[in-house]
Structure 1
Amino acid sequence: MSKAVTVATFTSNFDMKYMLFKEMLDEAGIDFMLVNEITSTIDGTFSGSPTNIGIEIRVMEDKFEEALEIYNSIK
């Protein structure tokens, strides 16, 4: 069984590389999931929530190499 693995972590959902990477994954037909997207935008709202939560983009491990190649192509 394949599992989801993290390809990249971003500190903000306003990061241009983050937005471009998601768009390029969509164009390549690679399904991905976002982890901590909401939590990172409401940083500090919840008592005790860490302030360094990153937004993770995860793909299924069989698509990891292809996704990593796309990520590395972004300057």
Structure 2
Amino acid sequence: MNRPVTVATFTSNFDMKYLLFKEMLDEAGIQYMLVNEITSTVDGIYKGSPSNIGIELRVLEENVNEALEILNSIKE
């Protein structure tokens, strides 16, 4: 079964590594899905919103190794 797997978690959608990783995945033709992207941007606006929500970037199992290679190629 080819299910989505979380390969990275980011704390902000303004994180340069996050933006670069998404762009590099697009260029490699790797489809991804984002979980909590909207929730993380409204953090603090809604009372009781957890402050530790991270943006999860998921790819299909078949693309995990390639996505991790791309992620590891990005210097912090």
TM-score, length basis structure 2: 0.94
Following superposition of structure 1 onto structure 2, how do residues 8-47 of structure 1 map, counting pairs within 5 Å? 8-47=8-47
In the TM superposition, what is the alpha-carbon distance from 1:9 to its structure 2 partner?
0.5
In the TM superposition, what is the alpha-carbon distance from 1:45 to its structure 2 partner?
2.4
CA distance in 2, matches of 1:64, 1:51: 28
Question: RMSD between aligned alpha carbons?
Answer: 0.8
Aligned to 1:59, the other structure's residue is in SS state strand
Quick one: percent identity of the two aligned structures? 76
Gaps of 5+ in 1: none
Counterpart code for 2:55: I
| Alignment size in residue pairs | 75
